[in-house]
Structure 1
């Protein structure tokens, strides 16, 4: 999923375990030649990927957020084994591509520990139990209605986001909405303090909301300029 906003922002929506996403990122960097390449990583996840790019070992931290991070990482790797691509390879491809064209790499995401802790703090007991059972049952579920290769298609993404919101409003708010705003802040900061294009590589589920957030800022800026 590719969405261009204005003449300087390109949002590349990827599926974190699909080889096609990695190839698309590599193609876009060569084609668009951005001055900045933003990636959906925080400093912690960035350095973990850079230091162990080929490792399947998952670090375990004995805390509520650490346990949740471990489980989510494990599930992503189970899916990655089916597709033949480790989670995060598309982000590494973006970093490598940026270095090859001498573009600046921008870390867009909020610290993963803060996000997971906020999720645990805000969820009700019912939501925690509901999500825990869903996570535990996921590896045994079959007959998926949506093919993995379709998860970057716009209509499919909107459907998945809607289903996720219905499943848990709290999880949707913390994992999607809050991070969209955080990443929009980072993109807006770069946009207003530098020149050149910025290509942002983010999960496909973030593209619709992130695009709306950025478009609204352009509208507000235009209204403000007309008033002045």
Structure 2
């Protein structure tokens, strides 16, 4: 049974308490529902809790903040090959990741449960090209020096371009693709994208939601059966 209305809200509020490493939001869409997990990409606790959420909710689809190129970086031999590695080796590979721990964990959990995975982000090459097109050469040099910690102020033009090209534009792409996933869909994305994606999904569906506050426990019997 798909969570709807009060049941969906109750699950989201309970999940927020049980998954303190994530920000949880949910809203109905069409005949299904969309649950969003906002995570810090480099935090091990968040990655583990993403897996817990997928195990509990058993969604029909899992949407990732990845494009094909970034997916191949995480799984150069494919997701099935990664799943066949010994558990210790999988954990070692995840521990070595500087970023994307949540995405790897979500993809692996979905594969283990036979849940389709959707790559919902814009191609990284498009994002890089749009960012570079916004910036003058001097801004790029100044930004590079600031990133190296050389006591150089980061230009405002660079900050604005990053906010637009890296965050806001991709919020729209993620929202559009996540909202089209049928049934009960679960999206795993960086916490900085969560509010923007919610805003755009709300505009598309005419339904607004919020990040939920904690409650005592999961509603009895809510865990989906497969």
For residues 57-206 of structure 1, what are the structure 2 equivalents within 5 Å? 86=97, 87-137=99-149, 168-190=159-181, 194=182, 196-206=183-193
For residues 12 and 166 of structure 1, the distance between their equivalents in structure 2, rounded to whole angstroms, comes to: 30
For residues 174 and 48 of structure 1, the distance between their equivalents in structure 2, rounded to whole angstroms, comes to: 21
For residues 131 and 77 of structure 2, the distance between their equivalents in structure 1, rounded to whole angstroms, comes to: 27
1:2 aligns with 2:24: yes
For residues 76 and 96 of structure 2, the distance between their equivalents in structure 1, rounded to whole angstroms, comes to: 18
- What is the CA-CA distance between 1:96 and the residue it aligns to? 1.1
TM-score by length of 2: 0.65
1:36 aligns with 2:61: yes
Task: Flag the structure with higher helix content.
Answer: 1
CA gap of 1:26–1:169, structure 2 versus 1, over 3 A, is: same
Q: Secondary structure at the match of 1:51?
A: coil
Residue by residue over 1:170-190, the C-alpha shift from the partner in whole angstroms, topping out at 9 and shown as x without a partner, is: 110000011011111211222
- Deviating beyond 4 angstroms after TM superposition, the runs of 4 or more aligned structure 1 residues are none
TM-score by length of 1: 0.65
Gaps of 5+ in 2: 1-22, 79-94, 208-226
CA gap of 1:125–1:108, structure 2 versus 1, over 3 A, is: same
- What is the CA-CA distance between 1:126 and the residue it aligns to? 4.5
For residues 32 and 124 of structure 1, the distance between their equivalents in structure 2, rounded to whole angstroms, comes to: 47
Comparing 33-42 with 4-13, greater Cα deviation is found at 4-13
Q: Secondary structure at the match of 1:137?
A: coil
1:23 paired residue number: 48
Equivalent pair of 2:139/2:157 in contact (CA under 8 Å): no
- What is the CA-CA distance between 1:85 and the residue it aligns to? 5.0
Gaps of 5+ in 1: 54-83, 141-164, 221-228
Comparing 40-49 with 181-190, greater Cα deviation is found at 181-190
Equivalent pair of 1:17/1:85 in contact (CA under 8 Å): no
